[in-house]
Every structure is written in C-alpha cells, then in structure tokens.
Amino acid sequence: MEYFNPISAWSLMTQPSEIWAQAFASANIALVKYWGKRDSNINLPTHSSLSLSLGRLGTTSAIRCSSSLVEDIYWLNGIRLEGSSAAFKRLQAFLNPFRPQGCAFELRSENNIPTAAGLASSASSYAALVMALDKLFEWDLSPAQMSLLARLGSGSASRSVYLGFAIWHAGIKANGEDSFAQPLDERWPQLRWAVVVVDSKAKVMSSRQAMSRCIKTCAWFDKWPDLCVSDLQEAKVAITNKDFQSLGDVMERSALTMHATMLSSSPPIVYWQAQTLAAMHKVYELRSNGIPCYFTIDAGPNLKILYQHQFHDSIACELEKLERPVLYIDPWSVNDE
C-alpha cells in the first residue's frame, strides 16, 4: 500500500540547493496521550491525542542538500551521528523520499532539551526538520501537510508544528492521509509548565519499543483507546471552559493509565525512578495545601507539572526542595522568560 505523501511528485523536480534552511519547533507534551499504533510503519495511532507545546524548549534544525556532498552528514548537538547508528538510519529513511537525484543532505540539529529522555525531543526534531525542508525546497506546505509529514518521522511530531494546544486526529484511512494534527483555537495565557528533570540521560527503552511491547503483551490494551476517546472529549470541554481542575484530572489520569499499560506488560516497563515518585507526591501535597497543579509523565522518568502562573512562587518554592533542576515554561512563548 502506498502511503500518503503530499509532496513526492514535486520533490523530484526540485533543483538541489547549496543554501541552508533553518527552522525551530517546540516540543509538546500530551495532555491526552498517544500510546498505540494501528500501523507502525507510518505511525498511525489507534486514537486521537491532545497536546500543549513546551514553548522555548525544542529543536532548531538547519539543512542543506547538495550534489557536492558525497554522503549524508547528520549532526546532533554538535556531534556527528555514525552511519551505523539507529538515529542515522531513521533520519536517512525519513529523508530518502525527498532526495533529489545525485544529492546528499547535511543536517544540523540542536535540542535545547535533554535528548531521548522522555522530554519529547524526537517530536520537535522531526517537526523542525519538516519545517526546514519546507523552506529549503520552497514547498509552501500548509501546517496540516507539515504535520502529516512530521508524523512519518515520529508520531508525536505531528503535534509539534504548532504552538499551544494541538489535536492529532487519528484518522481512519490506511494510507494516513487523514492522520495529522490541527491547532485548537483556544488560548489560556495563565498556563505554565514546570519540567522536573529527574534524569537527563537517554531512556532505557525507546517509546517505539515500549509501545510495541504494550500492544503485544498488556492483556487489557484493547480497552485503552476507548478511555482515550472519552478523555479527549473531557479535556476539550475543560479547555473551552478554562476549567483547570478538570483539565488537570484528565491529564493525570491519561498519564497514569498509559503507565498502567506499561506496568501490565511482560516484562513490565518501569520508567519511574525514586525522584519521579517524590515529585508526584510533591504535587499531591501542593494540591492538598490548596495549590492547584497536576503532573504528567511520558516514556521516561521526568515530570511535567501544569499550573497557572499566579501560583508560580508557591510552586517554585516547594519544587526547589526536590533538589532537581526545574525548567519553567510559558507554552506560548519561544523566547527565554
């Protein structure tokens, strides 16, 4: 089955260019999680998901394409990737359909977030790459088309072409043409993220591998997509009504249920560390003291805490006691605060 690629026909006609094109994409954190694929080759999810961007945390990618390069060169945070590495092969497979004949790519990516630590760096990497390609080849793609292409690199990257809230529609078509993200036309300027960096080292297992194990071995995995559908509905209503407690409840539930699928897999997948639990309990303690804040956790040990900026001082003062680095982020701002 041919998968849907909105630009394959034009890319072959594009002249190679010596110039560099550059773009920045924010990472994003799912409020209602994506976890499960109906097609793992082209990253089609079993259900729709909803995210909020991580503002200034993300990836800047610069790319050029030239007939004078003898082979592809990919730099990640200043280090050249080995041709034999999984990251290199994945990038090359992604870029091949867009490669003009006889040309090689040079890509420089800089993440200002820890790479592969469950902080959504692959989401911002593939979104920034697609945005840079769009500039390089002057495709002039719509955001939805860019989202669709970014999805082919990493599912969650489909949501990283936007700032703010984004919904990735699961779609139903086998070729993926209806599986892309769109922005939610809602602003909530009071919202903030606090990212508690429990461990910035690369995670023990990629989300791709973990997802696949859950699908194969979690006995109740077939129940999960339906839970996500109702969570998504509830989260959308909470955002429209600016109901922070409802949004926080659904966000925590979505993360904990996703981790429950991992704990129910065989062998179980446990991304949490002692400091992850300490940070979760800190959030519960803050709430019981009347300070509204909620957490979410992805495929890694780090915690992302959602709060409203009027509570910043009380929250920052308590999180400091965890003795871990904490990054404070305005989801809608790409500049340092």
Rounded to the nearest 5°, which phi and psi values hold at 37? Answer: -120, 145
Cβ atoms of residues 297 and 272 within 8 Å: yes
- 7, 23, 27, 33: which one contacts ligand PMV (CB under 6 A)? 33
Q: Which of 30, 119, 146, 195 binds ligand PMV (CB under 6 A)?
A: 30
> Which residue among 5, 48, 49, 302 contacts ligand PMV (CB under 6 A)?
49
Single residue of 26, 125, 154, 296 touching ligand PMV by CB under 6 A: 154
Site for ligand PMV in 72-131 (CB under 6 A): 122-123
Q: Which amino acid is at 53?
A: S
Distance, CA of 331 to CA of 209 (rounded, Å): 29
Range 75-82, long-range pairs (CB < 8 A, 24+ positions): 75/106, 75/107, 75/108, 75/109, 76/109, 76/111, 76/115, 77/109, 77/110, 77/111, 77/115, 78/110
Per the CB < 8 A criterion, the answer to whether 170 and 182 are in contact is no
Q: Which is nearer to ligand PMV, 116 or 136 (CB)?
A: 116
Buried-exposed string 297-326: b where 16+ CB fall within 10 A, e elsewhere: bbbbbbbbbbbbeebeeebeebbeebebeb
CA distance 298 to 32: 11
Total number of residues that touch ligand PMV (CB under 6 A): 14
**Site map (CB under 6 A) of ligand PMV, residues 172-211, x = contact:** -----------------------------------xx---
Nearer to ligand PMV by C-beta: 90 or 135? 90
52 is written with which tokens?
A: 């909020």
Binding flag, residue 167, ligand PMV (CB under 6 A) = no
Question: In this chain, which stretch among 27-35, 73-81, 175-183, 286-294 interacts with ligand PMV, using CB under 6 A?
Answer: 27-35
**293-312: which residues touch ligand PMV (CB under 6 A)?**
298-299
CB nearer to ligand PMV: pick between 50 and 136: 50
- Check binding of 46 to ligand PMV (CB under 6 A): no
When the beta carbons of 64 and 156 are compared against ligand PMV, the nearer one is 156
Q: Which of 156, 160, 179, 296 binds ligand PMV (CB under 6 A)?
A: 156
Of 224, 228, 251, 229, the C-alpha closest to 239 is 251
Of the pair 53, 207, the CB lying nearest ligand PMV is at 207
Write the single-letter amino acid at 278.
A
Q: Which is nearer to ligand PMV, 64 or 203 (CB)?
A: 203
For the record, the structure tokens of 323 come out as 């003795």
Which residues of this protein are in contact with ligand PMV, per CB under 6 A? Answer: 30, 33-35, 49, 122-123, 154-156, 207-208, 298-299
